[in-house]
Structure 1
Amino acid sequence: MRADWDELFSSSVSATIEPVQAGAVACEWVRPPAARRDAAIVYLHGGGFRVGSPTSHREIIARLALEAGIQALAVDYRLVPEHLLPAALDDAMAVLEWLEKSGLPADRIALAGDSAGAALALGVMVARLQQGKRSPAAAYLMSAWTDLTASGESYQSHAALDPIHQRPMILAMARSALGAGASAEDPRLSPLLASAEIMRALPPILMQVGERETLLSDTEEFAARASAAGASVRSEIWPGMIHVFQQFPDELPEAREAVAAGGKFIAAHLVSVQAGSDFT
């Protein structure tokens, strides 16, 4: 399944690809021409915690990095079932710590991700805030899976519209992904359940979701709760679109438009970084 996923979505990109070990976590730098190296987008791929890789998401990562004008670091985190949650979250946390120890502080880092990867991005921010650490400067999230308990109303109201995800499938995926002692109600794994205090401290976030998704509520409810707590979270519902539609740029002009908006959003929140201090 993983090989099929990589083959389905892999494509050539106009970017330099450089494998790198972020401590114990395999990653790769994705650097379009003239991309800034004094900041980084850390990208966490989707795939239900089971499939997906930097290879399957290389095109969307390269497009996002190009639109933002900033290098991206794609994280090859450990997958289920060999490594149950919170292993993937631990890897994502370790990558941020590696970047900081290597000289790139949190205010020069933006997070991005889709689906389960978007959940990890939010989980990293929640976990770091719980630990009293700084959150990255911004986040761009696509079709975020914010609630492993699948409590959202759209799981019922959009069941006939979504060709991919249904609530029984989501719940089964969540149950089988959790390791011993891990809980679907842990706010690091279900960020929708984070406290108002934690949500208030979140950085600016742009969330995009397709109108036809059963996961629509995961975005709408998270954005509403975070905004009510005082965070700057903007949610966009894209008419007629399905789960992670951004991964189909050759077929959908909406995909190209959405990723361009994500890149501009990230760039706008990293503009204060001073040039001339490259990080490699």
Structure 2
Amino acid sequence: MTQDSVDAVVARIRRVYSRWRRDTPVSQMRADWDALFDVEIDAEVEPVDAGGVPCHWIRPARQRADAVIVYLHGGGYRVGSVASHRDLMARLATAAGVQVIGIDYRLAPEHPLPAAIDDAVAVLDWLEQTGFAATQTAVAGDSAGGGLAVSAILSRLKDGKPRPAAAYLMSAWTDLTASGVSYAERAELDPIHQRHLIQAMAQGALGPDGATDDPRWSPLRAPRELLSRLPPMLLQVGERETLVSDTVDFAALAQAEGVPVQFEIWPGMIHVFQQFARDLPQAEEAIAAGGRFIAAHLGSAAKIE
């Protein structure tokens, strides 16, 4: 039964959160989060230094060698890594038939924003320099990584660089002010993320002097001229999320500027439910849809390995 499966996933997440106290070292939090998603995957994993940023190639069998998906993991800019998202990246790579490069961008509090944005931009620049045209590059991310994906694209657009072919965003955190109506309207539905937690995560990502409404990391507040140049996007969010407004409001704003945007609210699903594809059939379906979306916008394959 789907509800039982979702409840079991929520219980696993809560067990991790319950171990964390104010004095829990961030290193322990990161290790706990990685361990939650420590599973074997059916893909080759290869570390690479991408323009000075540590990354990993995720390459399942019969993936495209002429195109790439750049993946930015979630975790509130504080936890998460390529390790915690390896299964999700491998599933997306298989669904799209395209190799993924996962970015281990710098995390707060050691490296507050905009460090993560700078790293994401550096990897996109490196890929372009090594022969991956923007038309053969897609960007994907979840939660903080979804917002980071948009922020990196906008940063490059501001500098006159080309946009990628497409973006696939899961439960994207597009407004660090947590001011959307869903933070109140869906508070009772969301079993994990309440407004006060999101606001604390935002301040932790920024440090004491960072402004949550800065459009560099709250792309919902970016200049409309820049938003109008975004690539086609697919956004997915769970019905049981306080962050629904981050998806709905951002999609509406981009659509108003003429950007081709699809957004989906998945009934009964929680924040980044796609990470639990081994437990939830809806997660597999959502990733498959993301893979098809990316593959369609990258065009025909020139080479399969």
TM-score range, shorter chain: over 0.9
Gaps of 5+ in 2: 1-28
User: Which residue type is aligned with residue 276 of structure 2?
Assistant: F
Using the alignment, how far apart are the partners of 1:144 and 1:188 within structure 2?
15
Deviations 1:13-51 (A, max 9, x none): 110000000021000000000100100000000000011
Aligned to 2:40: 12
Aligned to 1:275: 302
Using the alignment, how far apart are the partners of 1:95 and 1:207 within structure 2?
22
Is structure 2 residue 60 aligned with structure 1 residue 43?
no
Choose which of 126, 132, 149 in structure 1 pairs with 2:177: 149
Aligned to 2:26: none
Using the alignment, how far apart are the partners of 1:11 and 1:68 within structure 2?
21
Aligned to 2:120: 92
* 162-171 vs 144-153, greater mean Cα deviation: 162-171
- Secondary structure, counterpart of 1:46 in structure 2: coil
Which has a greater percent of helix?
2
Is structure 2 residue 102 aligned with structure 1 residue 74?
yes
Gaps of 5+ in 1: none
* Equivalent pair of 1:86/1:179 in contact (CA under 8 Å): no
1:149: Cα distance to partner? Answer: 0.7
Aligned to 1:196: 224
List, as ranges, runs of 4+ consecutive aligned residues in structure 1 with deviation greater than 2 Å.
179-183
Is structure 2 residue 288 aligned with structure 1 residue 254?
no
- Secondary structure, counterpart of 1:221 in structure 2: helix
Instruction: Say how many residue pairs are matched.
Output: 277
Deviations 1:192-237 (A, max 9, x none): 0112211111100000000010000000000001001110111100
* 127-136 vs 33-42, greater mean Cα deviation: 127-136
Choose which of 265, 273, 276 in structure 2 pairs with 1:237: 265
Using the alignment, how far apart are the partners of 1:108 and 1:83 within structure 2?
30
1:266: Cα distance to partner? Answer: 0.2
Aligned to 2:244: 216
1:185: Cα distance to partner? Answer: 2.0
1:176: Cα distance to partner? Answer: 2.0
Q: Residues 67 and 277 from structure 1, CA distance in 2 versus in 1: closer, same or farther, beyond 3 angstroms?
A: closer
Superposed CA RMSD in Å reads: 1.4
Aligned to 2:146: 118
Is structure 2 residue 291 aligned with structure 1 residue 263?
yes
User: Which residue type is aligned with residue 230 of structure 2?
Assistant: L
Q: Percent identity?
A: 62
TM-score normalised to the size of structure 2? 0.88
User: Which residue type is aligned with residue 143 of structure 2?
Assistant: S
Using the alignment, how far apart are the partners of 2:157 and 2:207 within structure 1?
23
- Secondary structure, counterpart of 1:150 in structure 2: coil
Using the alignment, how far apart are the partners of 2:43 and 2:91 within structure 1?
9
Using the alignment, how far apart are the partners of 2:303 and 2:199 within structure 1?
48
Aligned to 2:200: 172
